[in-house]
Chain A
Amino acid sequence: MPSEPAGTTGARRILPIAAVLAVGVLALAGCTSGDAEPTTDASRTTLVYASGDAEPTCLDPHVGGNYPQALAATQFLESLVSRDEDGEIIPWLATGWEVSEDGLTWDLTLRDDVAFTDGTPFDAEAVKANIEHLQDPATGSSTGYLAAAKITEVEVVDDAHARFHLSAPDSALLESLSQPWLAIESPVGLSRGTDENCLAPIGTGPFAVQSWTPQDRIVFTRNDDYSSPPADAGHEGPAYLETIEWRFIPDPATRYAALEAGQVDVIDNAQPDAISRAGEASGIVELDAPRPGASNRIEFNGSKAPFDDERVREAFVRAVDPDAGIQALFFDTAERSYSPLSSVEPTSVGDADLFTVDPDEADALLDEAGWTDRDDDGVRTKGGVRLTAVFPISTNQSTAAEQSLFEQFAASAGEVGFDVQLQPLDLSSWYGALAAHEYDLVSAPYTKVGPDVLRIVYHSDSMTPAPSGYFANLAQVDDPEIDALLDEASASQDADARAAAYADVQERLLETYRLLPLYDQQNHFLLTADLEGVRAMPTVSTPTFLDARFTS
């Protein structure tokens, strides 16, 4: 074949050039040896992870309970159950479970051969101590506390059997328990008190916290006695890696540069431009792991004008064009959602037909709703009141691309006569604005395993402000039919009936334009291509490095 010799000649010509280049690169590397992380072959046993999330202020995810804590905790803590890619609950530290007829008692069978990294055995006493720790106000738990709200008591039947007593049936109990915010820690570790436990919580995970230097890094070292992988893990026994260095690099451009330069191996919170570039550049691969729970969506404050009127809500939906914005600003890295739930939830229901873009229809709807006059700025008015929509935006939670998307929405909505007032706020000011009801539009993420997030976000119980002034039902949905469906789903023991009830809830929310779904909660990781075995937990989509190793 004529092509073969030609190819060989070509290769011969290229080789010397490549050799010269390689020598040059080596020489350069030699000049600065010692400044890079160890980067040698298959003997690489240290993984450097760079997080763009805020550094946790406490490594115990029971305390508070946010996503940065979940990311870190996934490396060293484990839960009673996990979830597989189909959304089914699977065994982890608990091997089996049985619920009573009335749904008020759950019997969990536990692994009897697992110990925490401090040597304390994992048993029913440990489970009891953890739930009590979560429910103790002094712990300051919020996410785990809410998820465990219906547990009245954990009864220790024997070492390997724990009985959960509930105040009301809770079909979401196992989904709640699968989350890192309810992970099981060594009771001896917990008894050290919050301040000490925060620095290095003790779990049963594949790694253990070796040290934490605030504002610098957390170092995790391998748990050599590891024996409790979740049922869907890639292998039995200890992790392949010996060490994980967990760094915090808040600037997205620097984070990506560090990955490109080989200084770090995995980054999270990858930005759309970096994700699209990484796809083309060899050597960097993407792990897209949308978070469970609610989708990213704009919610309308339905408790006051103007969005207490369904026509005005629909007008806003018709006026703005999320697809165009997503394409331009997210470089096609985000997929449009039409559901209140994340696409990872098998029970999610969406309806694209409800969200067509039609500014003329928007105009007609606003006319019909009585917003017929326009002032000098072109803003519609009704009885002298301007059609104002105050939109506080959390700059901690909304990415740059998302903030730009909202700016586009403000402009499009302005054309049909809305005056959308964007207010970029830091986290505590944003909470403050919501608690004070100073919002008409809001975009608030909510991560939870399973469709039960609908109850937290749209049940009228969540509308009543807590003494803190905060409430999860930001759309102020007060709909007896939705409440009834959510209560039914929560109490149901039947998976199909439960799914049907959640489907009805979602349809009703969408049809009454309570929200404008945008896309899943974006959760993109970029990794060096020579790293294999990294996957996101199908629970809250945090990456696990149990099966990870470098290939040469």
Chain B
Amino acid sequence: MTFALVDCNSFYASCERIFRPDIKKRPVVVLSNNDGCVVALSKEAKQLGIKMCEPWFKIEKSFLKRGGVAFSSNYELYADVSSRVMQTLEYLSPNVEIYSIDEAFLDLTGIRDLEQFGHQCRTTINRWVGVPVCVGIGPTKTLAKVANYGAKHYPATEGVVDLSDTKRRKKLMSLMPVREVWGVGSRINRKLHTLGIETALELAEMDIKLIKRKFSSVLERTVMELQGYPCIGLEQQPKTKKQIVVSRTFSRKVNDLDSINEAVSDYAARACAKLRRENQYCKMVSVFMRTNYFRKQDRQYHGFKSYRLFSPTNDTRDILNATRQLTKQIFQTNINFIKAGVMLSDFYDEGVYQGDLFRTIDKRINSEELMTTIDKINTSGIGKVTFASQGIKKSWSMRRLLKSPRYLTNWEEMPVVK
């Protein structure tokens, strides 16, 4: 078998550059919701010593002074660019697994000149979409990830590494810290360190039985994959989600029930639209809200409560009833809230739920038609229909002062040329 991992370089920052030729060489950072901290940075920003997750207010002045450019996250743009990258990959190779917004695995079994194929991927995506990618190739998915690490870290590779050759594989793994291996989290990393394992190669050469005894069968699979035995196949069907969470940080401290209710209702309505997109029905609704841990002078509080519905639903009105009650129960006065969220879980496919014997399922009339119509309007790009409880002014909503235009998804914001 042969797999490739195609991974976009500093994806969000690269998206911001597509329609801005003036910032091609300048340091670029993208900020999290509310412009809180750095979630993506270009190579040039890295060279200035900026790190992921750094709070924006700490670096703002010196970063801008040194010629840096910052953007609020523009997910409309990133999602559209991502789908273009994936579409291009599907044109190049028949078997594509979309792994995340900026990564995809390809099944390259049967392709003869792998390195040439890798370069073809790179140049095609760069030409068609305008974002740079790296391609890692190996006999297993875990080794394709290792190869991608090499392609990213060593410019001499020109962004493509093929690890079909076992000597090359060993060399790269001996240079790669074990925590960079796919599937090795920080806890496993610490435990491996106590066993004296520092590099990917040392992990690959471990005794499999020992790994299974001391760790888990998951890490055993990782070691097998590092040794070149494929254990993980390509998943072309996206898994059905097990839960949906919508949560946001507020733009300011919020301490009144009305605003919290609006925010939670808004998140609930978004979560319901996602649920219907997955064709699922849920029975469990949870609401959570918390204070700002960094404001030591404030009283700290984290509230979480769940409600089990009598029968599975995806009708926004049922969910809103539940979240409104939960919000009232969790809310406390004289507390400065900074974040709230809604979680839907316990999912059912349509029609599989066995109803309660003593309770007839009281489904609302025309529920499906109404929800379908609302979703259609809200995705049409023409206007939005919301429930009154979602609020109108949304004074609590996110701060995105530095957002770039929605170049690819909005008629009013497309790029302008002279």
Partners in one complex: no
